[in-house]
Amino acid sequence: MPTFRSNLESIVFLRRVAVTSVSRIVRGACAGLASTSLAFAGASEAAPSASASVVSGPSLGAELGLWSVLPFLGVLLSIAILPLFAHHWWEKNRNRALVSFGFAVPVAAYLLLAHGAHGGHVLLEKLHEYVSFVVLLASLFVITGGIYIRGSLSGTPLVNTAILAIGGALASFIGTTGASMLLLRPLLRANESRQKKTHIVIFFIFVVSNCGGLLTPLGDPPLYLGFLKGVPFGWTFGLWKEWLVVNVALLAIFNVWDQRALNQEEKRRPGAQLERVMQHEPLRIDGLLNFVWLLGIVGVIYASGEGLGTGGEPWPIGTPEAAMLGFCAVAWFTTRAENRSLNKFSWGPIQEVAILFAGIFVTMAPALLILNSWGQGERVVFGAEFEASQPWQYFWLSGGLSSFLDNAPTYLTFTATAAGKFGVPANEQFLSTFLAQGDGAALLLAAISCGSVFMGANTYIGNGPNFMVKAIAEENGVRMPSFFGYMAYSCLILLPLFGVITWLFFTGDDVLNVSARA
C-alpha cells in the first residue's frame, strides 16, 4: 500500500509539472522568446531568443535604475545569511517560498506597471526559462535516482579522485548536470564512514558540476548557445589545454587535501580508518535501463538544437520539455522503487531548488538587462562605460558575473559585445562570422567561454547543478558550508588557479591588432 501511495503521489507531481510547463510554454510562445538557459533545457528556442535578447533587451536595460538590482541582492543575501541565523525556520519550504516570492513579486509588479508590454515580455521569458530549467533538473534527478550501484566503492583519496576525474570527463558529453546527478550518490555512499567529507562535495562541484564541462557544447548552457549561434560543434575541443590545466590542478589539490583529511581522521578516531573505508562488497549496477533514458535527454538537447526531424528548424516551443518529461515518466515507471529507496531518494532537493530559483530567475532580470545595455554602450554603470578590449578582461568579467547571474545570457552579452568590436552584428549565426575575423576573435571567444564555464563554480548559484548537489549532500548528512563559507573555498582555491589560466592563455597582444595581422 505505501508503494501504491508513493506512485500515486508521483503521478500527481508529474502531472502538475506537465500542466505548469504547458501553460507557461504557451505564454512563452506568445512572448516569442526563450531565455538562453534553454540552451540546455529548451534548445530549440535558444537561437531566436538570443538575438532577440540582444536587440530588445538594451532599450529597457538603459532605462532601469541600478536600485532595481537590490531585490536580486536580497535573495542572495537571504540564501547566505538565513541558514546561519534562522536555520530551523529556513529549513521549511514554506518559509523559503515566502522569501523567494517576497523579493520576486515586487520586481514582477514593477516591470509590469512601470514598463508595460516590454516588462511583461521580459517576465514571460523568465517564466519560460524557469520552467525549462526545473524540467531539465527534475528529469535528470528522477532518472539518475533510479540508478543504484550495489556494493560499495572504497572512499580512499585515490578512488575519490578517480570518481571526480571520471565525472569531469563525462561532464562534457552528458552535461555538468547529468554527470553530477549520476555520480554524486555513489561518491557519498563510498565515503559514508568518514567524518570529514565537506571538501569532497566542494571539489565535486568544482570539477564535475562546472570545470569539466568545457570540451563540447553539450557540457554547459553557454557553450550550447554558442553552438546554436554559429560556433562549430568541435571548436570547443580546441580549449582542451585550458580544460586540462584547470581540472588536473583541481584533482591534484583535492588528492592532497583528501589524503591529509583521512590521515587526521586516523589519528583522532579509534581503529584503522583506511581499512574501514576500503571495506566493500562487489559492485553491481541496478537500473541500467535508466542510462538509456539519460542518453535520451542528451539526445533531445542535441536534436532540438540541430533541428533534427524539422528540416533544420528549431523544434516547436515546448517540444523539448515535453520530451524530457516523457523520459522522466518512463524512467519512473520502469524502475523498481527499491532502487530509489536505497538511494535515499526524496523530492526535497528538487523542491528546494525550484522554490529558491523561482525568485532568482525573476529578480535577476533587471541585472541582466542592465548588463546587456552596459555591454552595448547604451548606459554607464557607476559613471563608468564598458571599455573591455583584452582577452583577460573578458575572461574575468564574463566569469565574475557568471558567478552570480545566469551564465548563458552573460555569455551572450559579452560575445555580442566582442563581435561588435569587429563590426559583426549580433544576428543569427553571428559567432560563425565573428570567428572568421581571425585569431584575435577566437581568443576573445575562448576567454568568454572559459570564464562563463569555469567561474560558475565560484558560488552555489553560479551553475544549475551546484545548489542541487549541495541539497542532496545535506540530505545525506553532509554538513555543507554557507553561501559565503563556500565562497571562501572558491576564493582560496579557484581564484589563484584562474589567475594562472589568465597568465598562460589570455595575456598578450591587443586582439584587434592580432586579427589585423592575421
- State residue 372's pLDDT score: 76
pTM of the model: 0.76
What pLDDT sits at residue 279? Answer: 57
Asked whether 153 and 95 are in contact (CB, 8 A), the reply is: no
Which residues, other chains included, contact 283 with Cβ-Cβ below 8 Å and sequence gap of 6+?
149, 150, 151, 152, 153
C-alpha cell at 109: 509588479
**CA-wise closest residue to 160 among 255, 253, 246:** 255
pLDDT at 260: 93
- Residue 440 in contact with residue 513, Cβ under 8 Å? yes
- Angstrom distance (rounded) from CA 223 to CA 237: 11
First to last CA, the chain: 71
What pLDDT does residue 393 have?
92
DSSP codes joined into one string, 132-162: HHHHHHHHHHHHHHT-EEES-----HHHHHH
Give the per-residue pLDDT at 269: 67
C-alpha span between 321 and 480 (Å, rounded)? 31
Tell me the DSSP string of 341-363: HHTT--SHHHHHHHHHHHHHHHH
Q: What are residue 181's phi and psi, to 5 degrees?
A: -65, -30
CB 224 within 8 A of CB 39: yes
Instruction: Please say whether the beta carbons of 142 and 468 come within 8 A.
Output: no
Tens of pLDDT, residue by residue over 431-457, are 888 999 888 899 999 999 999 999 999
pLDDT block averages, 10 residues each, the chain of length 518:
39 39 35 35 38 47 90 89 87 92 95 91 86 85 86 82 95 89 90 90 97 91 83 91 97 96 80 56 83 90 80 82 94 92 85 89 87 81 84 94 82 84 75 90 95 95 88 91 94 97 85 51
What pLDDT sits at residue 389?
83
Distance CA 149, CA 280 (A): 12
Q: With contact defined as beta carbons under 8 Å apart, do 410 and 402 qualify? A: yes
